Structure 1
């Protein structure tokens, strides 16, 4: 039988965070979908409504955590998929640096937009 290979160390921090963010994303994505497709139908979503939702501290924090968890989960998944395909050495370090910079930029920009939507900038 073929041996299973994974770049994740079972029980390691990255392994644990990947699973925690997955569970968090499933729950918050369901909330987000329900909120923006059933409570507020797509045709009824307005800039003012978004500002009103984002001015609620609980909603704001949930959406910022959604952004952080999604960025980490996605970029960590891409990185580990590349490592599983044999990426190593200097290219591995370069990819890690590029993905880290991209993730930080995404979170900073997304947080700035969330703050602006909440009227806190």
Structure 2
């Protein structure tokens, strides 16, 4: 039987964080679907309602954590998939740098949007 290769080291922090963020994302996505698809239906969602929800500290903090964990989870998964496909050396460093910069830009823009929705921008 062929041996399976994975760039994830089960003793490493990235492997652990990938699992923790997955669990967190499952819970937050369930919350999201329950609140915005079952309690309130899509046609009932308005910008004013979204702003009102974002003005609540708990909701705001949850959405910021959601943004950060989803970004880490996705980027870490893409990076490890590329490493598993044989990315190494200089290309690996360049891809890691690009992904870090893209992640930072995504998080900064997401926080700016969240703050604008609360009226705190």
Q: Aligning the two structures, in what range does the TM-score lie when normalised by the shorter sequence?
A: over 0.9
Runs (5+) with no aligned partner, structure 2 = none
What does the per-residue CA deviation read over 1:59-106, in whole Å, with 9 as the maximum and x for residues that have no partner?
000001000000000010000000000000000000000000000000
Distance 2:115 2:8 in 1: 34
Per the alignment, residue 29 of structure 1 pairs with: 29
**Structure 1 length-normalised TM:** 0.98
Runs (5+) with no aligned partner, structure 1 = none
Distance 1:119 1:36 in 2: 21
List aligned pairs for 1:1-121, cutoff 5 A: 1-121=1-121
SS in 2 for 1:11: coil
CA RMSD of aligned residues (A): 0.6
The size of the alignment, in residue pairs, is 121
Distance 1:79 1:56 in 2: 34
Q: Which portions of structure 1, spanning 4 or more consecutive aligned residues, are displaced by more than 6 angstroms?
A: none
